[in-house]
Structure formats: C-alpha cells, structure tokens
Amino acid sequence: IEDGFYYDIDLGEEVIKEEDLPKIEKEMKKISKSNKLIKRIELSKQEALDMFKNDLYKQDLISRMDENEQVISAYKQDDFIDLCRGPHMNSTKDMKYFKLLKVSGAYWKGDSNNKMLQRIYGVCFETEEDLNNYLEMLEEAKKRDHKKLGRELELFMISEYGPGFPFFLPKGMILRNELENFWYKEHAKEGYQFIKTPIMLSKELWELSGHWFNYKENMYTSNIDEKEFAIKPMNCPGGMLVYKNSMHSYRDLPIRAGELGLVHRHEKSGELNGLFRVRCFTQDDAHIFCTPEQLVDEINSIIDFVADTMDIFNMKFEVELSTRPESYVGDLKNWELAEAGLKEAMDRRGMKYEINEGDGAFYGPKIDFKVKDAIGRTWQCATIQLDFNLPERFEIKYQDKDGQLKTPVMLHRVIFGSMERFHGILIEHYAGAFPTWLAPYQTAIVPIADRHADAAAEIANKIKALGIRVLLDDRSESMNYKIRENLQHKKIPYVLVVGDKEIQDKTVAIRARGRGQIGTKPLDEFISMLEEEIKTKGKKIVE
C-alpha cells in the first residue's frame, strides 16, 4: 500500500496484541540475517488450486481469477510458499530496515459479511536513515492529531448521538467561516456564480443520474407523501437541474457554478475518523459548462486557482492524470479528446504529472492534486473531472453559433475537496497554530497586575471594534503563566502585555507565538501591522 504494507492472518481464536509485534520483529530480523532466497513460481490456475487446496482464502482468490490469465505467480522462501503477483526482492537480506506499526481487524475482502481477520501493518525502507526519518514523522504526526488538537483547542466535537456527524464549536466556526469567506471571495474573482441546491430530492432524480442503481447503499432515504426521497450524496444532479432551468447560448459559456453543498453518505462505523471520514460533509463543488474549444483554457484556469490557493496555506502539490478505465460510458473519441485536452493543459504550462492508466472514473478522466503538508504527508484534495455521463443523461444543451443544439463539456472540480476534511488537514498541517488570518483569537491582552485591567480592557475594546478577534485575559494568574498559556496552549499568534510603562507611553509589549519577545510598539502601529498581516494572509507579519 502507499504507506508500507499489511498482511491479513486467520489464527482462529488466538489474538495478536500490540505487545506481540516486537516478538514478531525479532523473528523477522533472524530471517533477514539468514539471507534466504526468494524464488518466483509460475502456475496454471489448476496448479494453483491444487497447491493451495488447504487454504480457503487463497482458493477464493484463485477461483476469481480470469481463466485466460496465462500464469499465476507464487513466491517460495524455504518451505513457505505464498500466492502473490509480485515482484519480490531476491533475498531476505535486502529487507533489513523495517518496523511493525500496529495490528487491527479487517474483514476478508472488506465485506462485513465475511470473517474478521487480523491485520498487521508495517513499513520497510532501503536505509536505516529513511526508516528513522519515517518513524520520527509518525511521532510528529501523533502530536498533530487533529482529533486531539480539536478537543484541546475546542474546535469541534463528535457526539455519541451522531457518530460521523461532527459538531463545530464556536472557535471552530470562526475557522470555518474564515475559510468559507475566503472561498466565496476568491471564486467571485474567478467569475463563478453561486447556487444552493436542496439537500433532499426525489428517487426519480437519483434514478436519472444513475446514483440510485450504483450508490443506493450509501444513501439515506425517506418517504414523504408516500413518495421516496433521498438525501443527496453528491451535488451534481442538483447542479444539472439548475443548468436546465433556462436556455443557454454559446455566448453564455463558460458557466461556472459554485456550491458549498452539504452531502450525506453512509460510511461504516469502523471507518469513521474524526473530520477525515465522516457521514456528512460540505463539498466545495463547482460545475463548469463550456464548449470544446474552451476546455483547455478552463482546465488551466482551475490549475492556476488550485496553485494560488495552496500557496496561501504554504502547501506544495503533485499531480496525477487518471485515464479511461475498462468499464466506461461515452464515445471512445470523446474520451481520447478529453484526455488529450487534460494533457495539453498541463503540458502547455510545463507541469510534471504522473499518469494512472485506467484509473479514471467511469464517466470521464480526471486530474488529482495531492498536497504535501508541513511534515511531508500527502493528502488528496483538489480534483478536476470530465463527465460524459450526466450531460447525456440529463440531455443538457446549448445553442451554438451555427444554430445547432449541442452538448456542453462538463467539468466537476473541487479545491479543498471537503470542508470538514480540509479543516482536519489544516489542524495537522499547522499543528493547531493557525496563521493569524485564520486563528480563532488573533491576539490576547494580558494586564501585568489588577490595576492595569481597565487599561487592558480599553485596548481590547479598541482592537475588537476594528474586527480583530481579541481575548482579554484578566484572570488572577501570574503574567508569565498567562503569556505561556495563550501562546503555547491556546496557540494565539500575539500576546500584548500592558503595565505602567505601556499605559504611560500608549504602547504595548508584544510577544509572538514561536518568536518570543519582539519589542514594544505604539498601539496604533501594532494594529496597523496586524491588519496588514491579516489582509495579506501572512505575507507580511508583525515584526
């Protein structure tokens, strides 16, 4: 798998515990040192069935293989033979630097109707340095766990009354509102219109879109007036109805319709994970309708939008192009044109990208953007997808300059992907220490003694009146304790200390998160610098 490897095991009633992993590692080290050769064996389907006749799981895998598959491979190491496509290393000595990470349960073939197996996860690297660097990254990731920081910073909660349905707390709503305001502002600059579609629509719509037949098990349904409805798992069908609400000319295109749309999908309880895997989330969707001639420019425009947005959060990204799968809808010619258009858009700008052959959606090829966070992990966020399916199903048209009715090219795209998941990513990316423009509190005011409380409150009110989020910390605690707690625990970007000298000189003594004391400045000067930092999203900072 992308982050290491796993192996599923059926040990009957015997249970592997975390404390057993070092014992297994010890045995693995012995095997590695023994330099056992690993040999590939090629088998026919019948030979494979005979070889693994006592293994129900391998019998199941082999029986599902295509009769026309010429060879089935197995790998032999001493008296141990395992079914695997490979390729493998030549010898166990090539695998010295490994670590077993955890053990968990996993249903056979991911189906809850099947038996629960035990799954051991691990990693293996070419050098000891690479292994140590990865393990250090995992330790850092634990400190940045968004579930832990979400509780400590009072950003969000999950209730037992709604598993998978997150609650955003007041401080988390400040962060969310800032992100959404940023989203709307930047989209307006890019010429997007905004729509809002209903959260529940009739079964007939989902039949028309194809979701009813392909996605029903993940949808929440209800009966209204003896008619079946479903809560939307995706925003796209509603966007199609908005397009069909009026006639369109080629002069109207491109139409860029943006929607922060709340969707619901049934996820298995064992797969829920904080804000990363939830049952309701807001997609920062946009559906773009354009002519074939406009396609490349639209794709380039989206790529620029993604790049500019991720730069705000100091995130780099890698790009993958996923092409036509074996099972697809639409004409082959359209697929070839679409894939060529996506490639042309990226080639024109000299962008490096990987090609995932056959990994596109059944309805069109796609570009995926995988962003890297502060500790080097990659996250799937932005996506651009071409769609040949919905335009045909909904029979959407525009009148071209020759008077003919034609089907527009349709693009689905997201920038953040899911607002909830992107919140989780940002919590871990920043380790909860958000840049000033996003921080729930942007500055805190700390009076040195009780006699300075009124002056501190006056400063707080002046800053608050300017729309800056401020915390007045006039608790009966020591000054140093309050400074430390606000900067380190609450992770507020700035703390202003107010005492006799500051009151007399109309100044504030400034402490900055992660930078310590940065001096004393006139209050108005600090406010101006803070406003500039917020306005520029941190390109300029208080110094």
187 annotated active-site = no
| Gap between the Cα atoms of 238 and 261, Å rounded | 10
The burial class, CB within 10 Å (0-12 / 13-18 / 19+), for 97 is: middle
Among residues 146, 171, 265, 521, the one annotated as catalytic is: 265
Among residues 144, 171, 279, 287, the one annotated as catalytic is: 287
* Interacting residues of 519 by C-beta distance below 8 A, sequence separation 6+: 509, 510
Q: In the chain, how many H helices and how many E strands?
A: 17, 26
Burial string for 300-333 (b: 16+ CB within 10 Å, else e) reads bbbbebbeebbeebebebebbbbbbeeebbbeee
70 annotated active-site = no
Strands (E), 3-134: 5-9, 39-43, 72-77, 80-83, 97-107, 116-125
285 annotated active-site = yes
Hey, what are 374's tokens?
A: 């502060």
| Gap between the Cα atoms of 292 and 405, Å rounded | 14
β pairing state of 366-372 and 378-387: antiparallel
| Gap between the Cα atoms of 255 and 71, Å rounded | 51
Strand partners, 529: none
Hey, what are 30's tokens?
A: 């012995």
Among residues 285, 368, 373, 473, the one annotated as catalytic is: 285
DSSP assignments along 246-301, one per residue: S--BGGGPPEEEEEEEEEE----GGG-BTTTB-SEEEEEEEEEEE-GGGHHHHHHH
Hey, what are 429's tokens?
A: 């990316």
452 SS3 class: helix
| Gap between the Cα atoms of 414 and 284, Å rounded | 6
Among residues 176, 264, 279, 283, the one annotated as catalytic is: 283
β pairing state of 378-387 and 221-224: unpaired
Among residues 248, 343, 377, 412, the one annotated as catalytic is: 412
Work out the number of other CB atoms within 10 angstroms of the CB of residue 179: 18
* Interacting residues of 269 by C-beta distance below 8 A, sequence separation 6+: 163, 164
Q: For residue 470, which of 429, 523, 430 has the smallest C-alpha distance?
A: 523
59 annotated active-site = no
Among residues 124, 146, 236, 248, the one annotated as catalytic is: 236
| Gap between the Cα atoms of 82 and 186, Å rounded | 54
| Gap between the Cα atoms of 250 and 242, Å rounded | 17
Hey, what are 79's tokens?
A: 């008296």
236 annotated active-site = yes
Q: Is the Cβ–Cβ distance between 492 and 483 less than 8 Å?
A: no
Work out the number of other CB atoms within 10 angstroms of the CB of residue 96: 16
Among residues 264, 366, 491, 511, the one annotated as catalytic is: 366
Unique residue bearing structure tokens 């037949």? 213
366 annotated active-site = yes
Q: Is the Cβ–Cβ distance between 275 and 164 less than 8 Å?
A: no
283 annotated active-site = yes
User: Which residues are marked as active site?
Assistant: 236, 265, 283, 285, 287, 366, 412
